[in-house]
Amino acid sequence: MWVDPDTPETRYVWETSRGESWHLVMSDEFNIPGRSFRPGDDHMWTSIEKPDGVNDAMEVYAHNKTTTACDANDICSFQIEMEDSVTQIPVWNSFLATPGFENVTFFYRGGMIQSWNKFCMQGGMIEVRAQLPAALSEPSGNPDILLGPNARAQSLRYYPTWPGIWMMGNLGRAIFSGSTNRMWPFSYDACDPDTFKPSNQRINACDKNPGSGMNPRQGRGAPEIDIVEGGGTSISSSIQVGPGMPLDFRVVTPVNENALCIYSSSCATLGANVPGIPESVYLGERGHQSWYQSLRYAANNVCQQNVSEMQDYTTVETALNTGVEDNVCSITTCPASLDINSDLDFMNAETDDRWGINTNGTCFATRNSYMGEYICSPGNPEPRCKPLDDAPILPQDESTFAFQMDALSANWPVHMAAYTDFLEYQVEWVAGPNGYVRWMLSGDPLYEIPAETITNPPQGGSVENPPKIMIEEPLYLIFNVAMSSKWGAQPPNPKNPCRGDGTDPVANAICDSFPMYLKIDYVRVYQDLSPGSIMSVGCDPKTHPTRQWILDHLDEYEDEENKLVEVRGKAFCRTDADCTVQTAHSRHRNLSNTRSSIVMTGRCVNQRCVCLSDTWAGPRCIAPRTLNAVSFGPPIVLAACIGSLLLVLGIASSCAICFMRTKDAKAVEAERKVKQQQHQQYELLRRQSSQHLQSAWSSE
C-alpha cells in the first residue's frame, strides 16, 4: 500500500543485524519535483505552518519551505529550506503570570513535515538517505571543506542549523503541546502509585475506563526515537521515554556551580561529570548502580583516524575492575563511550572489535550529557519545578503534572560527507522484552539500546526505579530543520537577527550562506512479515488505538493553519494496477488481458491514484473507507468481502502464473520475481484485511 513504484526491486529486502530478512512496506523516493505537502495535498506527509515552541527555538515553520526538487545531477529529493527572515507572531504562553498571547520575534523560517495519523509503524527498519544543511559555499570560508569527505567536521559555527529525522507516538502531534502534555514521552504500562503518580500520565494503567476508544488499564504515551538530531560536529541519536529515573539513580547534581558544566565535563562537584565515577561517590555512598546499564556504543569508521584516540581493551578493563576514582574520564580509565556501565563485549563472532572500545581511533559515539528534563505544568509548586518570575502558584487539579523524562542518547562525531553528500542513516527497532533499537550508518552500528536496559533498570535505592517497556506505540515520521539558541549548534548572534550589528565578518559570511537545505533522497521502511511477527503498519492498531482519542480531542491536534484533512488516493503510481485491490497481482501483467477478473477501486491519473468511489480510501484506494467518524472499522460485510476478494485474486494470480509458464529461462526468472513480490504484497494485504475484519467485529 505504501511502497513507491520507483523503489528498485533490488531494495525490497533488508537483512537485519540479526541475520533476518525483512521486507519493504513503505518507501518514498521523492522523484516527482514540485510536490505540495499542505494539509490534504499528499497521501503520506503533511507540512506545518506554525511557530516552533520548544528548545528555545528561533524559527517558524512554513508550508512553502517544504517541497521536492531535482538537482543538476538528476538527484531528486525532498527539501526543507531554512532562511534568515524576521517574523513577529503572537504566541500563546501558559507560563506567563497571566497566561495569554505575547508577541514573539522569530529570526528564521524553516519547515517540518509529518506522517502523523497517515503512516505509522510498530517496529521495523527505517532508512533515510539524507544530506544535512551547512554553510558550504566558497565565500562562507568554511575551513573544513578543503579537508576532504572523510575529515571530521570541526568548525562548529558553519553548521548552525538543528535538523531532525525522528519519530513520535501517534497520540502526540509534534509541536502541538496540548496533545503532548502528559503524553510525551511515556512508554510505561504499570499501575504502581507508590512508584509513579498515575495522574502524571494522561492515559495510565490504573484507569479502568479511559474512554475515547482506549483499552482499559493500558498505559499509553508518545515516546520518541531520534534517528538524526542536531548538527554541528556531532549528531545525536536517542530514545526519549518516561517516567524517568529518580534522583537516587541519576548523575550527581552540580552544587554551587553552573549546571552547564556537565556538557564539558568540567564540574568540580564529585560525581557530576560521569554517572558511576568516582566509584566511592556512587557505589560507595549509594550502594547501587546508577543510570542505564549495558548500552552499546560503536565507531563511525568512515571518519578519519586519530591515533591519539586509539584504545586497548585490557587497559580499560583493568581500570574499571580496579575502580575509577577520578572525577573525569580518560582514554585509559573509561570506555570511549564515556559510559563506564556500557557493554564491552565482542560486537559479533566474526570480529575482534568490542562495543565501547575505540580500537581504530576513529569517530566514536559517546554518552550524551543531556539525560532528560523535569517537566512541570505552569505554576506547579513542586520543589524541582523551575520558578517563574512573578508567576502565581496555580491550584492543583487533574491537569497538574510534574515528572522526570529520560533521554538515552549518544553523540557521534560526523565526517564532512554528512554535509557535502548523501549518507544512509538507519534504525532497527524491535519491540518486546527481547527487542532493541539500533542506529547504523550505511549498515555499520553506531549505538544500540537493548530492551533490558529500560525494562530492568537498577534498583536498591530509597525509592523504586520505574521499569519502562520497550517502545511499542505506533510511531510516525518527522523531518524538520530548526534553529535553537539552546543546543550546541547555534546560529550567529543567538536570539537576535543573524548578522547582529554586522561587524563580525565570519558571522556575515555564514549568514550570507542562507538559505541552507536539508535534502532527503528517499525514505524506506522494512518489517518482519513472518508468521508470529508483532510488527505492523497503521496508526490505529487494535493493540494501541489512537483514532477515537484524536477525534475526541481534535482541538489539541490541529489549528486553523494545520487542519486534519482526510486524504483519499494521491499515492504515486505508474498504471491503474497501482491503485486497485488488484495491485499486488497485476503489477507485472498486462492489465487488459485480465480485465474481467478485476474490481477497479482506483485509477492512475497524472501519476497519482484517484479513488473511483467513496467506498475506497487509503493512498492506493485499496482500503475500505470508514463510513462514519466514530466507527473503528468498516462494516462487517464489507470487511468480509475484502477478505474473499483477496482470496479470489490470489487464486486467479496463481492460475495466471501457471498459464504464463514457458521453458524460456528469462520467463522462469520473471515468474520467480512475480511470485516473490506477490508473496510480499499479498502478505501485507492479508494482514490489513485481517485487521479490518477484527475491527469490524469490534464495532458491530
What is the model's pLDDT at position 637? 42
147 and 272 together in one domain: no
Query: In this predicted structure, which of 392-401, 416-425, 561-570, 685-694 has the lowest mean pLDDT?
Result: 685-694
351 and 432 together in one domain: no
**Span 451-467, average pLDDT:** 96
pLDDT above 80: residue 655: no
68 and 98 together in one domain: yes
pLDDT confidence band for 90 (50 / 70 / 90): confident
435 and 425 together in one domain: yes
The continuous run of DSSP H or E covering 130 comes out as strand 124-131
The continuous run of DSSP H or E covering 511 comes out as helix 505-512
What is the model's pLDDT at position 628? 40
Give the whole-angstrom CA distance, residue 46 versus residue 112. Answer: 8
Tell which of 516, 537, 558 closes a domain.
537
In a domain, 8, yes or no: no
260 and 191 together in one domain: no
Within 8 A by CB and 6+ apart from 209, the residues are: 216
User: Contact 437/446 with Cβ under 8 angstroms?
Assistant: no
Which of 563, 483, 553 has its CA nearest to residue 47?
Answer: 563
282 and 224 together in one domain: no
Write out pLDDT tens, residues 148-203: 999 999 999 999 999 999 999 999 999 999 999 999 999 999 999 999 999 999 99
Domain CATH for 176: 2.60.120.200
What is the model's pLDDT at position 21? 98
> Radius of gyration (Cα) for the chain, nearest Å?
26
496 and 525 together in one domain: yes
226 and 281 together in one domain: no
Query: In this predicted structure, which of 282-296, 487-501, 640-654 has the lowest mean pLDDT?
Result: 640-654
**Span 68-76, average pLDDT:** 92
Length of the chain: 700
530 and 634 together in one domain: no
User: Contact 25/684 with Cβ under 8 angstroms?
Assistant: yes
- How many domains in the chain? 3
298 and 286 together in one domain: no
pLDDT above 70: residue 658: no
pLDDT confidence band for 667 (50 / 70 / 90): low
**Span 591-607, average pLDDT:** 70
In a domain, 24, yes or no: yes
Write out pLDDT tens, residues 245-276: 999 999 999 999 999 999 999 999 999 999 99
Query: In this predicted structure, which of 30-34, 362-366, 567-571 has the lowest mean pLDDT?
Result: 567-571
Percent of the chain exceeding pLDDT 70 equals 85
pLDDT above 90: residue 488: no
In a domain, 529, yes or no: yes
Written as nine digits, the cell of 108 is: 528564521
More confident residue, 350 or 152: 152
336, burial (CB in 10 Å: exposed 0-12, middle 13-18, buried 19+): buried
More confident residue, 87 or 581: 87
In a domain, 646, yes or no: yes
Written as nine digits, the cell of 463 is: 525509592
In a domain, 313, yes or no: no
Give the whole-angstrom CA distance, residue 213 versus residue 198. Answer: 19
What is the model's pLDDT at position 94? 73
Kindly report the average pLDDT of the chain as a whole number. Answer: 88
In a domain, 184, yes or no: yes
For residue 582, what are the domain limits? 568-699
pLDDT above 60: residue 687: no
What is the model's pLDDT at position 553? 98
In a domain, 560, yes or no: no
What is the model's pLDDT at position 592? 45
Write out pLDDT tens, residues 620-651: 898 887 644 433 334 434 444 555 554 555 55
Query: In this predicted structure, which of 459-463, 492-496, 621-625, 694-698 has the lowest mean pLDDT?
Result: 694-698
Percent of the chain exceeding pLDDT 90 equals 72
What is the model's pLDDT at position 594? 45
User: Contact 582/599 with Cβ under 8 angstroms?
Assistant: yes
Tell which of 492, 520, 537 closes a domain.
537
145 and 181 together in one domain: yes
**Span 85-90, average pLDDT:** 90
In a domain, 401, yes or no: no
526 and 582 together in one domain: no
